[in-house]
């Protein structure tokens, strides 16, 4: 049947009013759980062994920073943590030497091997922090150093011909040493942790805890936790990064009971009941570093090395570094400025 102009206009109007049916988006199918016993052994569980072998071959990086006033036993504690002389006491200064006017950053690298696994450990010490009469903004060199390591990693990452394995100098963990006053945190402690908790994983520790009685220690720990909470200071493990209920339960216990760890460090061995133990000799007996009845060093060691080391690295990469990276790329319109090395790589690839 022939359609006149009026009919054609009506059809056009109708097509404008009635939209074409949209195609339904493709929804990915949920994976179906298959009982492997019915189909025989596949071997996916060997991925753990494959990852273990790869880690044993390549090793891994772990970078730990220690911050606090002189005389709190920072070097000794790190040596105790890794059971070797990884932090030299000479990185500080003797009483005869002039105290640095500003915070110095000293990084000492080591390779530690245990059970066939290699760890490239870097200890970053910060002599001069908090030792001046005027400590205003003395955290700035430390914040600058941390951000410089993120920048180094970012520049390597955006290179056209980038390395297969980018050297990782990013600070994975910052042990912040609190003086065992038994009173409250200094304004400097609060300011440092407020600024730096946004860029690095901070773990607060009460140094030389053997100078306090058991009651004083419990009370001081509670006071420090309260002050951190009142001032809105997040320390590691941060609540918002708990991945599941199991993590939350475990980390809540650490946050509410263990933090800040009240520790004693020593790299000297003594004989106690026929056993060699790390400890500090006092007129009243030996304070055993790894005895939980004496201090919480063992809890700190297990936390940093045996249960949360990989998580410290992941939070550094996925949270702190990603925050830095996103800000840098936004500020710079997409990419950081090309270095000479980047330009040469770019030209050689053209």
- Which is more confidently placed, 176 or 243? 176
Distance CA 87, CA 78 (A): 6
Question: Measured on CA atoms in the order 327, 332, 335, 340, is the torsion positive or negative?
Answer: negative
| pLDDT higher than 70, residue 315 | yes
DSSP H/E element including 111: strand 106-114
The SS3 of residue 204 is strand
| pLDDT higher than 70, residue 2 | no
| pLDDT higher than 70, residue 14 | no
248-270 pLDDT tens trace: 999 999 999 899 999 998 888 88
| pLDDT higher than 60, residue 17 | no
CATH fold of 58-89+100-264+291-332: Rossmann fold (3.40.50)
288-299 pLDDT tens trace: 898 888 999 999
Confirm if 116 and 293 have CB atoms less than 8 A apart.
no
| pLDDT higher than 80, residue 177 | yes
Residue 27 has a pLDDT of 56
Mean pLDDT of the chain: 83
- Report CA-CA distances (Å) from 255 to 36, 209, 227: 40, 18, 13
The SS3 of residue 77 is helix
Question: Token pair for residue 259?
Answer: 């933090």
> Looking at residues 135-151, what average pLDDT do you find?
93
| pLDDT higher than 70, residue 218 | yes
- Cβ atoms within 10 Å, residue 299: 17
Residue 159 has a pLDDT of 84
| pLDDT higher than 60, residue 46 | yes
Give yes or no for a cis peptide into 86 (omega within 30° of 0): no
Torsion of CA 312, 313, 315, 321, to 10 degrees: 140
Q: What is the largest CA-CA distance in the chain?
A: 115
Strands 106-114 and 202-206: unpaired
Torsion of CA 220, 224, 229, 230, to 10 degrees: 90
> Looking at residues 2-21, what average pLDDT do you find?
50
> Looking at residues 167-190, what average pLDDT do you find?
93
Confirm if 313 and 62 have CB atoms less than 8 A apart.
yes
Question: How many CA atoms, within 13 angstroms, populate the side-chain half-sphere of residue 120?
Answer: 13
> Looking at residues 38-64, what average pLDDT do you find?
84
The SS3 of residue 203 is strand
Q: Where are the domains of the chain?
A: 58-89+100-264+291-332
| pLDDT higher than 70, residue 335 | no
60 phi/psi in degrees, rounded to 5: -145, 160
Percentage of the chain beyond pLDDT 90 is: 44
Residue 146 has a pLDDT of 97
Distance CA 209, CA 131 (A): 20
- DSSP, res 278: E
User: In which band, very low, low, confident or very high, does the pLDDT at 349 lie, cut at 50, 70 and 90?
Assistant: very low
């Amino acid at each position: 049947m022939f359609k006149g102009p009026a009919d054609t206009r009506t059809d056009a109007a109708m097509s404008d009013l009635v939209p074409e049916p949209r195609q339904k988006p493709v929804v990915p199918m949920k994976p179906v759980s298959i009982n492997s016993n019915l189909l025989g052994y596949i071997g996916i569980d060997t991925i753990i062994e494959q990852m273990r072998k790869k880690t044993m071959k390549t090793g891994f990086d772990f970078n730990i920073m220690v911050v606090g006033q002189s005389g709190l036993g920072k070097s000794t504690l790190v040596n105790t943590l890794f059971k070797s002389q990884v932090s030299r006491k000479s990185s500080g200064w003797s009483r005869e030497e002039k105290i640095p006017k500003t915070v110095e950053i000293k990084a000492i690298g080591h390779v530690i091997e245990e059970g066939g696994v290699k760890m490239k450990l870097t200890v970053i010490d910060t002599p001069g922090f908090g030792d001046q009469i005027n400590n205003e903004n003395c955290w700035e060199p430390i914040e600058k150093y941390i951000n410089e390591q993120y920048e180094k990693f970012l520049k390597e990452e955006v290179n056209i011909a980038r390395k297969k394995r980018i050297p990782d100098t990013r600070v994975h963990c910052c042990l912040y040493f609190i003086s065992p006053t038994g009173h409250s945190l200094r304004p400097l402690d609060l300011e440092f942790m407020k600024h730096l908790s946004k860029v690095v994983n901070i773990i607060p520790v009460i140094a030389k805890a053997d100078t306090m009685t058991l009651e004083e220690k419990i009370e001081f720990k509670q006071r420090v936790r309260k002050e951190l909470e009142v001032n809105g200071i997040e320390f590691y493990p941060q609540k918002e990064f708990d991945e599941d209920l199991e993590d939350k339960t475990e980390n809540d216990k650490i946050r509410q009971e263990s933090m800040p760890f009240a520790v004693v460090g020593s790299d000297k061995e003594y004989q106690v009941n026929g056993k060699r133990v790390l400890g500090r000799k006092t007129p009243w007996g030996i304070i055993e570093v790894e005895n939980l009845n004496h201090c919480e060093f063992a809890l700190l060691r297990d936390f940093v090395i045996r249960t949360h080391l990989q998580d410290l690295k992941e939070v550094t990469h996925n949270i702190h570094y990603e925050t830095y990276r996103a800000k840098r790329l936004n500020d710079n319109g997409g990419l950081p400025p090309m270095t000479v090395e980047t330009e040469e790589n770019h030209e050689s690839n053209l």
